Structures are given as C-alpha cells and as structure tokens.
Structure 1
C-alpha cells in the first residue's frame, strides 16, 4: 500500500500515535456494534423503512428494520406462556385458591347497587301497575331477598368457575394478545430480566475489541495491506457479539476449570437464576398477568361463550329463587308467560351488569391467587437447561443476523480508519 505508511520501525518521525489508537478504535467498534445489536433486538417497535421484499415475521426488509422481539411478539409471547403453563403454574390449581364465600363478601357492595337497579327497572317495565302501588317496605323486601340469594348464587357460580377455569380462560391467548397490542410489554420482560447481561454485552464489546485491536495494530504495522483494517473490523464486529452471547448462556451447567482445582464457571445469565426469577415474576404479574387482565380475558376472550353459558345457568336459578315470592302476585296480574319473560329479563340484566361490578373482587383475587410468589418459587426450582429458555430465545433464532450485522458495521468502521486515519 504505497504512500499510506511513511515510515517503518526505528524511523524517528513515525506517526506512532495512529497505531497506538487502533486498539482503542477497535474497542469502540466492539462496543458500538454490540450496543447497536442490542438496540436492534428491541427497537423499533414497528417496521422502520419501506416495507417491500420482506419475508413474513422477519425483522429485516430490503429497505428497513423492525426489532427482533417486536417482529416476533406473538411467537415470543407464546414461548413465555408455554414456559409458564408447563413449568411454572397450573391455572386450575392457582384458581382453586379462590374461596367462593370470601369472593361473595367482597362483591357485596357492587351487588347491592346492581340488584336494586335491576329489580326496580325490570318490575317497572313488566308490571308497572303492581310495582308502583306496592309499599316501599315491600319493594325493599324484594331487593333484600335478592341480596340474601346473592351469596348462594355467587358461591355456587365461583365453584363452577374454579372447576371449569380451563374451559373459560385462555391464558396463552391473553398473553399473546397483550404483547402484540403493546410490544413494549414484551420488551420490558426481557430487558428487565436480562439487564445485567445486556450491560455486559455492551461493555465486553470494548474489551474484546481492544484485544483484537492489539493484534490488528501489530499486523497492520508490519503488513500494510489495504484489506487489513476492514477485515479486522469485520472480525471484531462478529467476534465481540459472538463471544459475549456465548459467555452469557454457556456453559449451561456449572463446569469445573483446571480439573476442578481453580473454579467452576457457568453462563452469566444462568448464575443469576434466583434474582431473575424474582424479576420475571414481578414484571409478568404487574404488567400482564394482572387480575383485571385475566377477568377481561375471561369476559371477552375466545372462550367467553363458555363463561356466559355457565353464568346463565346459575343466573336462571338465582332469578327463580328471587322472583318466587312475587310469582302468585305477578302471574295473577299479567299472566304466567309475562312472568317468565320478566325472569329472563332479570337473568339477562344480571349477566350484563355483573362484569361491570367484577372490579370489587380485584384486590381479593390478586391476594388469593398469589401469582407472583407462585411463579417466582417455581422458576427458582427450574433446572439450568429449563431456565436458559427464559432469555435465550430472544437471541437464538436471529443470533446469526445480529452477529453478521456487527461484522458489517465493523468492516465499515475499518474502511473509515483506512481512508481518514492513514
């Protein structure tokens, strides 16, 4: 490469500083490519660029990029749910902790207002000539009768809910739906669980890059070919990403070094199993597996018809018991057919209004299910191989893409060094 190097070793006017900064430049390349690779794992949440010639569920398009996790939010959320439902929690077992009697008590304030409105409006609509002339104490007695019947209604209903929870609640659908609708939720889980590992990936890029830079400096000093800097930039970009990922997840099991005489080594992420378990459980239960989200999923999810069939069966029994005392009076006034329709209306209104007061049960349900403690304890008990599956899927499928992108960026910096520094 004629003219690029003006001197060789021993010549006093050698621009030694250009070579001395090469390891630092290489370290910055390693840091920068690792930092960018992490950012490209999580961001942007939606595709940035012109979305043409892009394979379905792949982050890279011909002219643009979408974060790997946001691109595969449904698949990643499904993997998380698979882990939870097969290794961490048993949905039926968790819901069995609900005490129907206690559930009925916490719902009472909402039921008082709900039943008062339903009875008054239904009676006024179907039997106005009778209801309007009844003394206030008789009307109040009807509402009190409803409140007396409500605990039995809710208790038997919740017993059925516990028994058939798998038929009315689709946990996997709920998690995927939330994560796809708000991709940052899934990012939060992985970013908080792998916070220390991601910081290690960034900073280790500098150290590994610096070491490679020393080799690069020596080779380029004695062999000043044009391709050395871009080639080493490519190698640094690839190697720093590759080595960092390997150190985080491998070895899976504690491995003795020096025949056990020195110390045992294990992937950095795997060594933090207890701490990560606490973070994973907390983030999931506070952002996705909330009581509100679970009830919403039951009421609006793909199995909602099963839930409302269950609710209808119990509501009809409740209405029969509630209206039983008024039956002779109402039948005499408007006939048996209209009385039957009135019962149906009360049942329908009860079904429609109950979801609106279910929030009264949120605090008790959260306490009773105790999801955070359950998930945390189970996760701490996973084997190292099972635990690896919590974070590794973030990188595993597109690991090669991230490493290659690091190499390309490193090569670009190598060209910059070549033409602007030398």
Structure 2
C-alpha cells in the first residue's frame, strides 16, 4: 500500500483518484434526484405495456394512497354528525335559501312550461302570484327541515372513501401536488443527502481501488452508491419512528418530526381540494346512496303541493289527477337538480373548508408516530426496492463511464 501511495504521488495520479469521491457524490446526487422525479413523474404511463415503461409512483398509487388515508385518518372522525355540526348547519341553510329563493319563480315557470305550458299561459296573473307567494313562504321552511335531516343521516348518505378515491383516481396530478407541498423538505433532503452519502462512499472506494485496481470494482461501487444512498435517504426520513437520544442529541425520522406541520398542510389541501361541501353534496345527490338522498329531498318538497289548499284543488281540477302527479314528479326532479347549485360558490366552499381542515388536522396530530407513518408510507414501500434498484443500476452504468473517462 505504501509503495502504491508513493507511486501515486510521484506520478501525480492523486488528482485522478481525488475524482473518485467527487464522481461518487455526483452518482449519489443524480440517482437520488432521479428517484424523486420518478416518484412523481410521469403523471400518465409512458412506454410500452407491460414490460417497458414507467408511471410515477404517486400517480400510479393515488387511489390506493387515498384509500389508506381515509381508513387511517378521516374515518377517525367517528360520528359524521359531529363534523356536520362544526360546519354550522344554520350557515348551510342560509346559503341554500339565499341562492334558491331569488329564483323560485323562475323554477316554477320552468316546471309549468315543461308540464302544462298552455294552462300556465292562460292562468290569471293573480293565481300565478298566489303560487309564487305560497312557494316563497314554504320553501325556506322546507329547506331548514331538509338540512336538519341531512345532518342526522350524513353518515349514511356520503361514502367519504368513494369521494376521496374516485376524485384522486381521476386526477392523480392532485395527489402529486399534495405530496410535493407536504413533503418538499423531505424530498429536498433526499436529493442533497445523495451528494453527501455518495462522497463518503467515494472516499471508501479510493483505498480499495489502490489495493486491488480491478475494473469491475467501479460499476459495483456505482451500484452500491446508487442503491445505498436511496436506501439511507428513505430511512432517515422515516426512521427512527420514535425519538431516540444519542450523545445528548435527539433523533427521529425527518417526516415524523414535522407531524404537526405536515398534518396542517395535508389537511388544508385535502379540505380545499377534495372534501368540499360542493363535492360532498354532489356525491350525496349522484353517488352510491343517491336514492336515499333523493327520497329525503322528495319527503320535504312533496308537501309544498300537497298542503297548498285551494292551489292543490285548482291544479287537480285543471290538469286532472295524472297531470297533478306529473307536476309533483317534476317538482321533485327540479328540487334534486337544483340541490347542488347553492354550493357552486367558491367563497362559501373556502369558508367551510377551514372547518373540515381543522377537524382532520386535529385527528392527524393525535396519531402516534407509528400510526402517522403508516398513513403515507405503506403505498411507497411496494416501490422502494424498485426505486433503489433503478438507482443502483444507474450508479453501475455511471461506474462504467467513470472507468472509461478516468482510468481507460
């Protein structure tokens, strides 16, 4: 070894060998950078199925990740009625009334012209005004009862997992954005740590190369650097799960250390983008339990005609029993159709999203570190080995290039 070192310095080859740690550092940085990119991109599959191609880990696993998140966080809300009460039902009622009441006459005209256009055109204006007036006095009261019953039945009307998973399956780019915002510090660390870990492995590589000088060593070390730097970075983020002390310093996985901060960011984005009042209402009306939702709407809207007194009698005399049934059916259908409209209000959705975000954030902060880790990591674990092997393969390829450029 001493003779090799002497020969090394005599021939100024130390400059060449000094490049080994630098190249190893670049391998570590490059493979980790690529691993992060491959975690997010491409959003859609690129290549030729089933053997050649790639889709980012997060967009490919978006629906599975969403399912895990729902099971381990949102379902911890317990009784959905608690969440509904935090949304302040009276504000929801005011929102619906404020959006629907100014258009009541328009809705009545639409129904009548669809069902009995000739009759409606020929009715005296005084009768029409009585119909309008009756609707204006009845609808707000009906909406109050409707919102109250929805609150009581919320848990059986909305499948939160269905809402969450379906939306992210349709828009995997949203899950990518969520993870990029929530984990930007950790993903940045993965890339930077590749540089540091790679340099350390390169320093270890120099004496071994001086001792053996075998060509195969460079691609082997390249593989080890690429594979190991990825492995180390992932484990530093998620390990140790619980804080541990060493030489007076406390250590914990970087992601777990930021549990409160991550919980707040994660919950805010989910509440603003996915669990909005608008989306929840849409799922209630058109989702798996839409029949139950429609039945509740009809239950509260049907009496608007049935209890109309003289108006009911006039309607039955003029359009007959079948025509009256048609009017009731049309009224119910219109009520269902307009039930989502009041929640297409961006400012209203934003004001309510803060309530949902706070509730979700409180639940996530209350998770143990192990539970918190298991919210986001399980879907990654299936891909970690593949990402590390890709990093190793690229490192080995770089080792070959390293030999060609430096020692060939």
Do both share a fold (TM > 0.5)? yes
1:263 deviation in Å? 2.0
The whole-number CA distance in structure 2 between the counterparts of 1:310 and 1:285 is: 26
* Match of residue 38 from structure 2: 40
Whether 1:19 aligns to 2:8 is no
Question: Normalising by structure 1, what TM-score?
Answer: 0.88
Counterparts in 2 of 1:416 and 1:100: CA distance versus 1, 3 Å: closer
Aligned match for 2:65, one of 76, 80, 90? 76
Contact 1:312 1:347 (C-alpha < 8 Å) held by counterparts:
yes
Give the whole-Å Cα distance in 2 for the aligned partners of 1:320 and 1:362. 36
Q: Deviations over 1:91-114 (max 9, x none)?
A: 332123355444333222432344
Q: Does residue 355 of structure 1 match 2:356?
A: no
Find the aligned partners of 1:247 and 1:296 in 2 and give their Cα distance.
42
Instruction: Provide the C-alpha distance between the structure 2 equivalents of 1:318 and 1:309, rounded to a whole number of angstroms.
Output: 15
Q: Distance in 2 between matches of 1:333 and 1:64?
A: 68
Q: Does residue 319 of the first structure (1) align with residue 308 of the second (2)?
A: no
Provide the secondary structure at the position in 1 that maps to 2:53: strand
State the Cα distance separating 1:7 from its structure 2 match: 9.2
Distance 1:209 1:102, change over 3 A: closer
- Separation of aligned partners in 1, 2:359 and 2:192: 35
Match of 1:415 among 388, 400, 403: 400
1:362, CA displacement in angstroms? Answer: 7.0
User: Shift in Å at residue 394 of structure 1?
Assistant: 4.7
Q: Aligned partners of 2:122 and 2:9: how far apart in 1?
A: 116
Which of residues 148, 158, 163 in structure 1 aligns to 2:137? 148
Q: How far apart, in 1, do the equivalents of 2:116 and 2:223 lie?
A: 84
Task: State the Cα distance separating 1:132 from its structure 2 match.
Answer: 4.4
Aligned equivalents of 2:361, 2:39: Cα separation in 1: 26
Q: Would the aligned equivalents of 1:114 and 1:353 in 2 still touch at CA under 8 Å?
A: no
> Aligned in 2, Cα 1:129/1:417: closer, same or farther, shift over 3 Å?
closer
- Counterpart position of 2:147: 158
Q: 1: CA distance between counterparts of 2:341 and 2:83?
A: 24
SS at match of 1:152: helix
Deviation at 1:243?
1.1
Go from structure 1 to structure 2 and tell me whether the alpha carbon gap of 1:159 and 1:228 turns closer, same or farther (over 3 Å shift): same
The partner residue of 2:238 within 240, 246, 249 is 249
Deviation digits for residues 121-159 of structure 1 (CA, Å, limit 9, x no counterpart): 444566667654554344223212111111221111112
Hey, what's the Cα distance between the residues in 1 that align with 2:334 and 2:206? 80
Question: Does the Cα contact within 8 Å between 1:110 and 1:360 map onto a contact in 2?
Answer: no
2: CA distance between counterparts of 1:38 and 1:170?
A: 33
| Contact 2:65–2:376, Cα closer than 8 Å, also in 1 | no
Runs of 5+ unmatched residues, structure 1 = 1-5, 53-61
* Paired residues of 1:234 and 1:407 also in contact (CA < 8 A): yes
Aligned to 2:316: 331
Q: Which residue of structure 1 lines up, in the alignment, with residue 217 of structure 2?
A: 228
User: 1:202-213 to 2 correspondence within 5 Å?
Assistant: 202-213=191-202
Tell me which moved more, 116-125 or 154-163. Answer: 116-125
Measured after TM superposition, the shift of residue 27 of structure 1 is 0.4
Whole-angstrom distance in 2 between the partners of 1:302 and 1:357: 21
What is the total number of aligned residue pairs between the two structures? 404
Q: Which has the higher helix share?
A: 2
Aligned: 1:278 with 2:264: yes
- Which among 274, 278, 283 is matched to residue 292 of structure 1? 278
Give the Cα–Cα distance (whole angstroms) in 2 for the partners of residues 99 and 162 of structure 1. Answer: 10
Offset, 1:294: 1.8
After the TM superposition, which residues 110-259 of structure 1 pair with which residues of structure 2 at under 5 Å, given as runs? 110-123=99-112, 131-132=120-121, 134-258=123-247
Alignment check: 8 A CA contact 1:127 1:330 kept: no
Distance in 2 (CA, whole Å) between partners of 1:361 and 1:115 is 22
Q: Shift of residue 334 of structure 1? A: 4.1
Tell me the residue number matched to 1:388: 373
Distance 1:347 1:180, change over 3 A: closer
Cα displacement string for residues 39-78 of structure 1 (whole angstroms, at most 9, x for unaligned residues): 11111112111113xxxxxxxxx22111112222221111
> 1:59: which partner in 2?
none
Counterpart-to-counterpart distance in 2, 1:184 and 1:115: 40
TM-score (norm. length: structure 2): 0.91
Runs (5+) with no aligned partner, structure 2: none
Q: 1:23 to 1:98 in 2, by over 3 A?
A: closer
Match of 1:343 among 328, 350, 366: 328
Looking at structure 1, the residues matched to 347 and 126 of structure 2 have their Cα atoms a distance apart, in angstroms, of: 34
CA distance in 1, matches of 2:155, 2:239: 37
Residues 28 and 206, structure 1, Cα contact 8 Å, conserved in 2: yes
Does the alignment pair 1:94 with 2:83?
yes
Secondary structure (helix, strand or coil) at the match of 1:264 reads strand
Q: 1:371 maps to which residue? A: 356
Cα distance change on mapping 1:362 and 1:160 into 2, 3 Å: farther
Tell whether 2:388 aligns with 1:403.
yes
